Structure 1
Amino acid sequence: MKLFACFLLLGAALNLTFAEEIKLDEGVLVLTEQNFDQAITDNKFVLVEFYAPWCGHCKALAPEYAKAAQALADAGSEIKLAKVDATEQGPLAEKFAVRGYPTLKFFRNGEPIEYNGGRQSADIVSWVSKKTGPAATELTSVSEAETFLAANEIAIVGFFKDRETDAAKAFLSVAGSTDGFQFAITSNEDVYAKYEAKCGSVVLFKPFDDKKSVFEGEATAENLKKFVSVQSLPLIIEFNHQSAQQIFGGSIKSHLLFFVSKEAGHIEKLVEPVRDIAKKHREDVLFVTISADEEDHARIFEFFGISKEEVPVLRLIKLEDDMAKYKPESTEITPEVVEDFVQKFKDGKLKQHLLSQELPEDWDKNPVKVLVANKFDEVAMDPKKDVFVEFYAPWCGHCKQLVPIWDELGEKFKDHESIVIAKMDSTGNELEHTKISSFPTIKLFRKGDNKVIDYNNDRTLEEFVKFLEAGGSVEAESDSEETTEKVEKDEL
């Protein structure tokens, strides 16, 4: 005991620190402020998750993260996965600028880089492996190929004997620049025979649909990237936390959405029969199911103006700046309806479906006028009026804070002959000419020329009055962006 005490005193005298023992939780290193530096020093490659115990996204990631750690350990990899409870280890979270949960950083020889891969175990393994090894694993035997395919749900293999061909170079270029997937390359004749592959071919192996896809066409980097992006997704994919990044981050930006109930059997009755149609259009339109049985999907239903009582129902969305949405003419979901709907969309024959609520009978009884999409132009585009409109969302906290000020503004100008104060719920009303991407958004529709002027000043009664009395010519004195709630479009 005396010897141990002397050892501690000697360490203190020499300004030494003793690293806390690193514990394992399902194969994941549990790091703290006391053992963090030691873990990074002792391991060449470490992926660290900064999490909060109460965070829903962190909870969803936990099993996939542990699964990835186990897969790396089983493969004998020197890559380690670790986690830090950022709510308990504040100095570490501050040191690495953790501003949200989960935040993942990959430490390579002690230097951190941002993790931007997927949230499923296969995505994690693929991303960290890509950062630490060759772009494509060399397969020299059938056993190596079998091991490689067994370890990766999605695997892309190039069958090239001559690595100097343009096709082989394009393949290796895509392998090196594409995160989230594992690539391999082989010139072994036995491997060719095992997988019935031709020299110069590229094959994507997967656990769903037809199990593998063979690339066809000119093997350019651009074509190969699209092949991987398209063929790595199921013909019909279910929207959930795990698949969201695959859906929104892929190359296909047009999505046919089936709002269905899995419990009611809609998948088997209505979705499965359109599988051949999905295959026909898979390079242009992604077929996605969204379950009405999941409470987490309520915001998506709201975004499309759909109630769960309407299920099953179809919609189509084009993920571009205007987030154009389309609705089929028929309420039925049959192969014929789906094929007609998708083909008309591809041919540019569909008109956007814009949401509009019913106009309240008392819409103009109060100082603040209540607008809906179908009535908007008639009121806001009146050349004799300056119409000041707040576009809001009922769930937006900043919009709720603005209510008493906006009501006071309406009261001030209720008898003004040329100024109208109005508001519109933009979760239930959409305009073709005005797209709203954050809440609250405030715009002045100026009288005379109907010019639309964005309001970016402070949200105070004084600033609103000053802006209106100047006819919208007052320049912004402060940036209110930090107090604006953004619409999360990637959640649909």
Structure 2
Amino acid sequence: MKPFLAFFFLLIQFFISNSISFSHAQPFSVDGTVLELDESNFDSAISSFDHILVDFYAPWCGHCKRLSPELDAAAPVLAALKEPIVIAKVNADKFTKLAKKYDIIAFPTLLLFIHGVPTEYHGPRKADVLVCYLKKFAASDVLVLDSDSAISNFVEEAGIFFPIYIGFGLNNSMIEKLAIKYKQRAWFSVAKEFSEDVMVSYDFDKVPALVSLNPAYNERSTFYGPFEEEFLEDYVKQNLLPLATPVSYDTLKLMKSDGRKIVMTIVEDEDEERSKELIKLLKAAASANRDLIFGYVGVEQFEEFAEKFDIGTKLPKMVIWDGSDDYLLVTGSESIDGEDQATQISRLLEGYREGRTTEKRISAPSILRMLHSNFDIRVVYILVFVVAVMMLIQTFSKGGDEYHRLPNQEQVDHPTSSASEAESREYQPGDKED
């Protein structure tokens, strides 16, 4: 009897365990809803779809709450694509193993998994533009355009988020490797059929030609060869960024990964008329010096970054930087605050190429800025709590009759006012709360 009971219980256990595994193995449906993932089904979901955008969120996060309806609205549109993109979410505050596995340290964090490989998503977060942005990743590596209307439709639908490359009279195999390599940063296409009107519109007068468009900055250039891979890649890389690149968290990553030296210009305010005129001069210099990247940053717009280059000196100033902890000042060109800035820029570039430079160390950010950029609001609460406990211990350790009043809750919470102000401001793409 006992062997029979043992066998019976083993049989029950087998069916229970397999029913659980079967339930986890259920195929996911692409029905336009946002999938809820956890540690039991995450890997299965990632392996089930070629493209899946995962929102790692926390229930208490205000930015996460505002992002959620945007993802709900985008999900059915993306699911209806010829190559569907699925949206999913993970409560990273609850499923901490997943958060740790993917280095989630702030909320919300969006990871786009392409064939199981994650990359952090820094694109727009409003539903309509998020859809336009993500279409890029599900498109063919090289799109083949067979008419004037197909070309115009492609350029319109591509939007302004990525540079666009159109090969006129090129075989798609000539740019296929580059299209795969830079797929996450640009659109690639070849036009098989086109009229003379298109040649006039895109400003090229012979074929083969590779035209690059940067819609966000209204820039265009044309490459006539040679069409060997080395020269093609140089052209593609040089046009991934605009001629004069405004510094932001995202463009900094692109500039650092590019490999070229960066001519960095620091101004007081990018929106001032004098700064705008200077930016035009930077574009002209960049067009003639394609081996360099030209970037600019306003103290008013991005002080945390600008102060690395000693903004105590006279602005505007230009430095040569390679993304490391050091930068170069060109002797005699420490500032370009003159009337003829075009000549000053030329002299600076000449001095750099001749080696008339002085190496400087990037300035460390202030303590307050470090606290602001590296500590989340929960750390502030912990610090306030620790200080309060230390004050309490100190009070009792004195042993006197004097009563030392501790800060009340309203006073303790005062340091978090800046966080609440940030919470109330308009949500910007890329903002995170934790």
Give the TM-score taking structure 1 as reference length: 0.55
Query: For residue 223 of structure 1, what is the aligned residue in structure 2?
Result: 231
Alignment of 1:237-256 (within 5 A): 237-256=245-264
Q: Distance in 2 between matches of 1:40 and 1:86?
A: 16
Q: Distance in 1 between matches of 2:169 and 2:239?
A: 20
CA contact (8 A) 1:203 1:213 kept: yes
Q: Distance in 1 between matches of 2:260 and 2:33?
A: 35
Deviations 1:334-386 (A, max 9, x none): 22212211222123233334689xxxxxxxxxxxxxxxxxxxxxxxxxxxxxx
Alignment of 1:35-54 (within 5 A): 36=42, 40=46, 43-51=49-57
Deviations 1:1-49 (A, max 9, x none): xxxxxxxxx9999557599x9999xx88353328757855774531324
CA contact (8 A) 2:244 2:294 kept: yes
- Indicate the structure whose relative CO is greater, using CA pairs within 8 Å and at least 6 residues apart: 2
Identical-pair percentage: 20
Query: For residue 4 of structure 1, what is the aligned residue in structure 2?
Result: none
Query: For residue 348 of structure 1, what is the aligned residue in structure 2?
Result: 355
Q: From 294, 306, 320, give the equivalent of 1:317.
A: 320
Query: For residue 171 of structure 1, what is the aligned residue in structure 2?
Result: 175
Alpha-carbon shift at residue 271 of structure 1 (Å): 3.1
Query: For residue 382 of structure 1, what is the aligned residue in structure 2?
Result: none
Determine whether 1:205 maps to 2:213: yes
CA contact (8 A) 1:117 1:127 kept: no
Matched residue type, 1:172: E
Query: For residue 295 of structure 2, what is the aligned residue in structure 1?
Result: 288
CA contact (8 A) 1:65 1:120 kept: no
Q: Distance in 2 between matches of 1:32 and 1:228?
A: 38
Q: Distance in 2 between matches of 1:72 and 1:255?
A: 40
Q: Distance in 2 between matches of 1:67 and 1:55?
A: 19
Q: Distance in 1 between matches of 2:180 and 2:89?
A: 27
CA contact (8 A) 1:45 1:78 kept: yes
Alpha-carbon shift at residue 314 of structure 1 (Å): 0.9
After alignment, is 28-37 or 339-348 more displaced? 28-37
Query: For residue 378 of structure 2, what is the aligned residue in structure 1?
Result: none
Query: For residue 140 of structure 1, what is the aligned residue in structure 2?
Result: 146
Query: For residue 89 of structure 1, what is the aligned residue in structure 2?
Result: 95
Instruction: Give every structure 1 segment of 4 or more consecutive aligned residues whose post-TM-superposition deviation is greater than 6 Å.
Output: 10-13, 21-24, 53-71, 121-128
Alpha-carbon shift at residue 155 of structure 1 (Å): 1.2
Which has a greater percent of helix? 2
Alpha carbons of structure 1 residues 320 and 240: separation in structure 2 relative to 1, 3 Å: closer
Alpha-carbon shift at residue 204 of structure 1 (Å): 0.9
Matched residue type, 2:354: D
CA contact (8 A) 2:298 2:306 kept: no
After alignment, is 245-254 or 149-158 more displaced? 245-254
SS of the residue corresponding to residue 88 of structure 1 reads coil
Give the TM-score taking structure 2 as reference length: 0.61
SS of the residue corresponding to residue 359 of structure 2 reads coil
Alpha-carbon shift at residue 278 of structure 1 (Å): 3.2
Alignment of 1:40-439 (within 5 A): 40=46, 43-51=49-57, 72=78, 76-94=82-100, 96-101=101-106, 102=109, 104-106=111-113, 108=115, 112-115=116-119, 119=123, 129=136, 134-152=140-158, 153=160, 154-160=163-169, 163=171, 169-179=173-183, 180-190=185-195, 193-196=197-200, 197=204, 198-208=206-216, 211-262=219-270, 264-281=272-289, 283-294=290-301, 297-307=302-312, 310=313, 312-319=315-322, 323-327=326-330, 328-333=333-338, 334-353=341-360, 395=367
SS of the residue corresponding to residue 317 of structure 2 reads strand
Matched residue type, 2:51: F
Q: Distance in 2 between matches of 1:236 and 1:222?
A: 24
When the two structures are aligned, how many residues end up with a matched partner?
334
Alpha-carbon shift at residue 214 of structure 1 (Å): 0.6
Quote the RMSD (CA, aligned, Å). Answer: 4.6
